[in-house]
A and B are shown apart, each in its own frame.
Chain A
Amino acid sequence: MRDVLLAILLLPSIAHAGKDYVQVPAGTYRSALKYEEVKDDTRVAAFELMKTPVTNAEFLEFVRAHPEWQRDRIATVYAEKANYLSHWSAPLELGMAAKPQQPVTQVSWFAASAYCEAQHARLPLWAEWEYVAAADATRRDARNDPAWRESILGWYAKPSTTPVAEVGQSPANAYGVQDLHGLIWEWTEDFASMLVTGDDRSQSDANRLKFCGAGSLVTQDRENFAVLMRVAMLSSLEAANSTSNLGFRCARSLTDGGSP
């Protein structure tokens, strides 16, 4: 009897263990963003990243366990009620418009953060996301390859009314991570740290007074439109916003006790 109980108790953790994380080794890369005080390449510590974005089915499991994140109960400071999970048919039902294996969208940064915290994880930092997203199927940094850039840009040209595909359909990149391009936009933990305003992406003196200290942002790789569009989009958001093609995946640090 005790064994059965134990087995039942262990079940949820087994279910979560099903979500694959990929280990990403430490390294340096040249970010497409340049902050005026940063002279060197960006260093990324070893971490783990979910192989695919969080799905509707997985997020449904989360809101069942944490009712305060259901769309009918969520605090209005944490999400815009009109949008948050609005494509689900009911607070605890996906319905026809949200397939279980599609990435969850219409989630605010607060909700995405809470999901990751419940998995003892966090959202990835922008630098972590950009670092892993620089890879194609065989190279860790394929960004100088015009053909690869073109293939990524193809997605951005598609109308956003096209239904979002299911996760895990695209080939894994050199790290073993999927769907970084061509599926959805993704939240990062520090999306609000880019300090870019929508109509002035080079953030000239006009904006300087608004900020304390140095560290304005310019882009040093103007050809990398795919990344620049992500940055412009993320920096235009507030943490309670959600959109029909913005989702997330979680990350775990390997150095500060966040390892499994």
Chain B
Amino acid sequence: MKRLLLALMLAMPAVAVAGLPLPPDSVLQQDGVFTDQSGKVFHLAERRGHVQIVSMFYTSCKYTCPLMIDSGLGIEHALSPTQRDALRILLVSFDQQRDTPVVLQALAVKRHLDTQRWTLARADDGSVRKLAALLGVRYRKLGDGDFNHTSGLILLDAEGRILAKTDQIGPLPDPKFLAAVQTALHQPVSMTHR
């Protein structure tokens, strides 16, 4: 039995990595409960193992937020198919009232987002506030239900450590940020802990 377990662990390195604590500088430690566009509940720690781009938005935002999706698509477009398959993109909404899984799903369909790679998510106000604090995103809810917020993309390594940020959003990727994404995707999954 023991040998079987060992064999299983060796056969599935991802499982072994998941068993170790996250590094102290990983934002995936935030233990909030998130819900994705399909209604599936998840913790950020479950997103360990992939290089990912994280950003915050809300669907009823007319101007900047569509650009956040353009940004993600722009980066995907600039990558090779192998790189694209390895990258994950997570957009978390500020708006837990209006951005239900149904609304998030509708947006994913409208923008032709591949939900194998893209996750649109919502969470309770406390988790949103903490995630924003970890990412350095600032926001304020306005009286009419809209949000004023800083916008940007944050690149995390497979362990959830912040590698790069950019304030430049839109379909044409920030060259420096894109280079950081490509470099990150070339690194093997890091199992080292500081």
Contact = CB atoms under 8 A, between A and B. Distances in A.
Contact of B148 (A76, A113, A212, A239): A212
Contacts of A210: 150-151, 167
B85 interface: no
A213 B146 contact: yes
A53 to B, nearest CB: 21
B140 interface: yes
B34 interface: no
A113 B63 contact: no
A110 interface: yes
Contact of A238 (B27, B136, B143): B136
A44 B139 CA distance: 20
B133 A239 contact: yes
Interface string A191-211: 011110000000000000011
A211 B139 CA distance: 9
Interface string B149-187: 111000000000000000100000000000000000000
Q: Contact size class for B?
A: 20 to 34
In the complex, which of the residues A37, A76, A113, A213 has the most CB atoms of chain B within 10 Å of its own CB atom? A213
Instruction: Classify the secondary structure of B's interface with A.
Output: mixed
A37 B132 contact: no
Interface in A167-215: 189-190, 192-195, 210-215
A109 interface: yes
A75 B61 contact: no
Contacts of A189: 129
A77 B154 CA distance: 15
Contacts of B136: 238
Contacts of A77: 24-27, 29, 134
B138 interface: yes
Q: Contact size class for A?
A: 20 to 34
Contact of B61 (A110, A193, A213): A213
B142 interface: yes
Contact of A75 (B25, B126, B149, B167): B25
B144 interface: yes
B134 A75 contact: no
B2 to A, nearest CB: 31
Interface string A210-225: 1111111000000000
Interface in B1-59: 24-27, 29
B65 A212 contact: yes
Contacts of B61: 212-213
B84 interface: no
B138 A193 contact: yes
Interface string A11-42: 00000000000000000000000010110000
Contacts of A216: 148
A115 B46 CA distance: 26
B148 A110 contact: no
A156 B153 CA distance: 38
Contact of B149 (A109, A122, A213): A213
Interface of B: 24-27, 29, 61, 63-65, 126, 129-130, 132-134, 136, 138-144, 146-151, 167
19 contacts: A77-B24, A77-B25, A77-B26, A110-B133, A192-B138, A192-B139, A193-B140, A193-B141, A210-B151, A211-B148, A212-B63, A213-B63, A213-B64, A213-B146, A213-B147, A213-B149, A214-B148, A238-B133, A238-B136
